[in-house]
Structure 1
Amino acid sequence: MSSPREKAKSLLYTYGIILLGSAILSFGLYNIHEQTQVTEGGVLGMTLFLQHWLGLSPAITSPVMDIACYLLAWRFLGNSFARYAVTASLAFAVFHGLWEQFPPLLPDLSPWPAAAAVVGALFVGIGVGLVVRIGGACGGDDALALTISHLSKWPIARCYLITDLTVLALSLSYIPFTRILYSLITVTLSSFLIGRVQSFGRPPEKGQEPEIQTAQ
């Protein structure tokens, strides 16, 4: 049995990783995606869509949509996962609000959309990957995809793809088609990086599905 000190260290490490991942993700979203109009799929892409058309800050819309997705899928998520996911969502909002107090801190990559797609994917992939690695989630995408998978009996990968493509299709209302192609690049690359960061240094578990605890 772990001592109280060991448990405290474990919690400190866990929530430290959540904060680090959320900071990296929000930094990339503000400095790359929002400045270059290379959008993301899922909840991240929807926050940019709402910011463009309604002027709503992702610092507000991101936690609102995330919490809605968490509530929708609450019965399919374990209590620890839910705590970590909500923490990451709130941390993202705080960090994004902080970055908004400053002008963009990275060079404008708008003239080089391919570079923006790759660099943006690095921030998303590493940021989300760190949080997923410790058993949490940076957004409501995971909860939403799990809910769709449960109701439709489709593979979880297909559910993620459907949500991403839906948001990218909506984004065509304000982003040129050529830039949406770059968004497809960043979505594909960030998804790959999330998986790599999550599994780095861990033995592969062939033929096993991720375990989702039921809420107590």
Structure 2
Amino acid sequence: MFKTNWKPAVQQIFPILLGTAIYAFGLHFFVIPNELMEGGVTGISLLLKYALNIPPSYTTLIINVPLFYVGWKYVGKQPMYYTILGTLSLSFFLWVIEFLMHKGWVTPFRYEEDYLLAALYAGVTLGAGLGLVFRFGGTTGGSDIIARICNKKMGWSMGQVILFIDAIVIGTSAFYIPIEKIFYTLVVVFIAAKMIDFIQEGAYAAKAFTIISDKPVEISQRISDEMDRGMTFLSAKGGYSRMPKEVVYCVVSRQEVRRLKSIVRQVDPRAFMIISDVHDVLGEGFRVED
């Protein structure tokens, strides 16, 4: 019974810890040595590091503590559990890496001749870390808590609130770091956002076909025989004719898109096809998760 109850929690907690470790590594190894920036509370911690040389491991936690109280009161206990976990683990891993660097066991990546390379590596590591944290229900606190409160109390978009906070923090950093570093920071933010989307949506991407044709049975038979793919018939009605129709819905890998198009065109050149991106495809013929 103990094992059954704790297994899902462990499976969720471990990726959050791994994600915060990767994120902390990216900050200390790529961002701070090259005086780049981040948004939110992390960005404020970096500003304090650049201006007053205060370690981010302390400021990240100190700034988030009052936000924990507000979030616990207005957002709710359950959403805050993994937020507190993510924030505490981030501060811990930041401290660990600071300790290792102080001992000389870890050397940060500083390459003054090509900050773009540092920005690319920073974006990948920060995005990979945050992607893992977000995918398994955690956050690193800060602006996310503020955004949740604004969304709940005032109906504001969480994305717009986070973007507004990030813009203020990154804009303020212009007083402490050269303007060209701000532009490199935008590269970091862009790459990190793409990595977050990539990890949250899944590494495996496929294509979904919605096929409207007068020959759905023939098309489905060809797909089954030649591609060994399943499909689903959806009941529909023509908007002009008002006649009932059967729509074929089928999901294939990206490598099979051209082949499926060819089959549909061969059976019914007048068929109408809608091709959509899909992510995290689970089930027979695709990826299987326990």
**What is the TM-score normalised by the length of structure 1?**
0.85
**How many positions carry a matched residue from both structures?**
203
- Contact residue 75 and residue 149 of structure 2 kept, 8 A: no
Aligned-pair CA distance for 1:118: 1.4
CA distance, structure 1, for counterparts of residue 127 and residue 3 of structure 2: 32
Aligned to 1:171: 173
CA distance, structure 2, for counterparts of residue 24 and residue 64 of structure 1: 21
Aligned to 1:213: none
1:49 aligns with 2:43: no
CA distance, structure 2, for counterparts of residue 44 and residue 7 of structure 1: 34
Structure 1 residues 152 and 188, CA gap change in structure 2 (3 angstroms): farther
What is the correspondence of 1:114-153 to structure 2 with a 5 Å cutoff?
A: 114-153=116-155
Matched to 2:57, the amino acid is A
CA distance, structure 2, for counterparts of residue 157 and residue 34 of structure 1: 26
Unaligned 5+ segments in structure 1 are 206-216
What is the correspondence of 1:1-216 to structure 2 with a 5 Å cutoff?
A: 3-103=1-101, 104-200=106-202
- Which has the bigger relative contact order, CA under 8 A and spacing at least 6? 1
Aligned to 1:211: none
Aligned-pair CA distance for 1:12: 1.6
- Contact residue 67 and residue 86 of structure 1 kept, 8 A: no
CA distance, structure 1, for counterparts of residue 179 and residue 128 of structure 2: 27
Aligned-pair CA distance for 1:64: 1.6
- 1:80-113: CA deviation from partner (whole Å, max 9, x where unpaired): 3311111111111111111112334343233311
- Contact residue 18 and residue 88 of structure 1 kept, 8 A: yes
- Contact residue 75 and residue 152 of structure 2 kept, 8 A: no
More strand, by proportion: 2
Aligned sequence identity (%): 27
Between Structure 1 and Structure 2, whose CA radius of gyration is higher?
Answer: 2
Matched to 1:10, the amino acid is P
| RMSD (Å) for aligned C-alpha atoms | 2.2
**What is the TM-score normalised by the length of structure 2?**
0.64
- Contact residue 33 and residue 108 of structure 2 kept, 8 A: no
More helix, by proportion: 1
CA distance, structure 2, for counterparts of residue 139 and residue 193 of structure 1: 19
Structure 1 residues 76 and 199, CA gap change in structure 2 (3 angstroms): farther
Moved more, 75-84 or 170-179: 75-84
